[in-house]
Amino acid sequence: MASTIKAYGVPLFLFSLPVFYQLVFLPRSFPPSYYDVLETKRYSSVEEVKEAYGKLSSKRSNMLMS
For the cut 90, the answer to whether the pLDDT of residue 64 exceeds it is: no
Mean pLDDT of 34-57: 89
Question: Can you tell me the distance from the alpha carbon of 66 to that of 28, in angstroms, rounded to the nearest whole number?
Answer: 32
Provide CB contacts within 8 A for 40, sequence distance 6+: 48, 49, 52
For the cut 90, the answer to whether the pLDDT of residue 46 exceeds it is: yes
Tell whether pTM > 0.75: no
Is the Cα dihedral 56, 49, 28, 16 positive or negative? negative
The pLDDT of residue 66 is 61
pLDDT 10s digits, 17-29: 999 988 888 877 7
The pLDDT of residue 52 is 92
